[in-house]
Amino acid sequence: MNELHKKPETWWTRPCGGFEVLWQAIPLIISSGSISLMNFTDRLFLMWNDPDSMTASMQGGMLFWSAVAIPSAVAMFTTTFVAQYYGSGNYQRIGPIVWQGIWFGVVMLPVLLFLNPYLTQLFVLFGHDEEIIHLERTYFFYLLLGCTATIGGEAAAAFFRGRGAMHVEMYNNVFCVLLNVFLDYCMIFGHLGFPAWGLAGAAIATMISQWVRFGIYVTLMFLTDWKEKRYNILGGMKPNIPLLGRLLYYGTPSSSYTFLDTITFTLFIMIIGGIGQLERNATTIAFTMNAFTFMPLIGIGIVVTSMVGNQLGNNRPDLARRATMTALIIGCVYTGVFGILFIAVPHWLLFAFAAFTDPQEFATVYDLSVILLQFIALYLFFDSCSIIFSSTLRGAGDTVFVMRVVFIVAPLLPLACFAGVHYFGLGLIWCWIALTFDVFAYCVLFTFRFYSKKWEAMRVIEKELQKKI
């Protein structure tokens, strides 16, 4: 009788439908949005302090993210393991795999410090001004001191992401973002007894916030396991070479996407940095606004990776497909709203950058920034598809395909920009046209792979631990 009166499932109420995806996505959208707000505030303060410092923070920050891209992406891939272990009921394997990602972050600190002088030579090779190079190197070095916290924090966050506890990441990130903004205000301008360190203060504030974020995650991991007594957090602390090898085997191809995408973007920024001050300042402002769409999309992508991993661990590829399409609709609606804002009311979004700057000097930056926001509005839909579908592939463990796509597509953007600028006399607009086509190429390839359904049969956890149908 109850079955007869049972309400039919709708897009909103069905498993992996609108409500379930949004319930997990909203905390990460808020979390990612808070990080975008932090970057916005960071660069806004630096713009008010010194426009060159703002640009240097973008250049130095991108080099840092390029340096930690592979280890961070490997650590983040722990989410797929946690999700599949959790979905298949192998809870005792969760603690050990999370710790392998954390130890990987510990090992990377001395490696990256050793590479520091070689990496920062890129600023010289791309012809940046000497004053800017000094600022870029300073910002990069202080961020590097927090690389263990950055990398290990991704593995620790996977403990919560993979189990669907997205609210933990939201609370932790929002708290640390507020801490970062407060420290920025104190350390950049010299308030509340702090020295006025300018750009160095901004980098130190970010580094401290990363260590606090990491410490909170680890503490909450132990408290969760103490309460539920099934994740083997304490017993799984020791290094486990075979398990680390498994993480590296699947995570390294996945990390190639993050690494090459980041290094491509970094080279793109550096090529523009060599064109001129106006071009690099406008690009920094445009990408600062783009972060309000890109970072939440990354958050939705993390939810997709987790849900796909859970459902494949439970042998429900149909629900994995449904979660992906639900997330795609949500992502396209979200970015569509921002696309309209970027075209219709750019002055609302850019007015804060004009404060405490010379109106005549900012007018030229403003005009160019408006054009770049129109480019962003143009490629937002393709970016949404690319991020959501690639997140599905990573959630399944289809990382080799992701790696092949990146190795084909990634080099094209910096090559096209470099050739256009240095051999054909083309400028900033050519670089942004190339960027738009780059996003479109990723979108097409990941969309075709998703609809091929080959990823549905893939798993990353040990065969003997996979759930039988």
- Which has the closest alpha carbon to 383: 300, 266, 274, 281? 300
| CA 181 from centroid of its chain's CA atoms | 19
Contact 120, 182 (CB under 8 A): no
| E strand spans, 198-241 | none
Determine the Cα–Cα distance for residues 324 and 151; give it in Å rounded to an integer. 26
d(C-alpha 139, C-alpha 325), whole Å: 40
Number of helices (H), then strands (E), in the chain: 17, 0
Residue 1 lies in a domain: no
Rounded to the nearest 10 degrees, how much is the dihedral formed by the CA atoms of 453, 407, 310, 292?
-110
Contact 53, 362 (CB under 8 A): no
Among 208, 206, 220, 203, residue whose Cα is nearest residue 169: 220
Angle between helices 317-344 and 346-354 (to 10 degrees): 70
Q: What is residue 356's predicted lDDT score, i.e. its pLDDT?
A: 59
CA distance 155 to 388: 21
* Residue 12 counted as domain residue: no
Is the residue at 13 inside a domain?
no
Residue 376, CB half-sphere, CA atoms under 13 Å: how many?
29
Give the dihedral sign, CA 301/303/307/313: positive
- Model pTM score: 0.76
- Give CA–CA dist 394/406, Å, rounded: 13
Distance of CA 253 to the CA centre of its chain: 17
Please report whether residue 437 resides in a domain.
Answer: yes
Residue 468 included in any domain: no
C-alpha distances in Å from residue 60, one per residue of 4, 144, 421: 63, 10, 22
Q: How many domains does the chain have?
A: 1
Is 397 within a domain?
A: yes
pLDDT string in tens for the chain (469-residue length): 455 455 667 989 999 999 999 998 888 888 777 777 777 788 788 888 887 888 788 888 888 888 888 899 899 889 989 988 998 889 999 999 999 999 999 999 999 999 989 888 888 887 777 778 888 899 999 999 999 999 999 999 999 999 988 899 899 989 998 999 999 999 999 999 998 998 899 999 999 999 999 999 999 999 999 999 999 999 999 999 999 999 998 888 877 777 787 788 888 988 998 888 889 889 988 988 898 888 889 889 989 988 998 899 888 999 999 999 999 999 999 999 999 999 999 988 888 787 656 677 778 889 999 999 999 999 999 999 999 999 999 989 898 899 899 889 999 999 999 999 989 989 999 999 999 999 999 999 999 999 999 999 888 777 766 665 4
What's at 281, amino acid-wise? N
218: nearest Cα among 235, 241, 234? 234
Segment (H or E) for 52: helix 51-76
CA 226, CA 361: separation in Å to the nearest integer?
58
Closest CA to 402 of 256, 245, 250: 256
Q: Write out the two tokens for 259.
A: 């690494």
Which range of residues forms the domain containing residue 170? 18-460
Tally of CB atoms within 10 A around 381: 17
- For residue 467, the model assigns a pLDDT of 63
What secondary structure does DSSP assign to 13-37, as a single string?
TSTTSHHHHHHHHHHHHHHHHHHHH
Q: What is the rounded CA–CA span in Å between residue 306 and residue 320?
A: 10
DSSP state of 462: -
Residue 8 lies in a domain: no
Domain annotation covers residue 336: yes
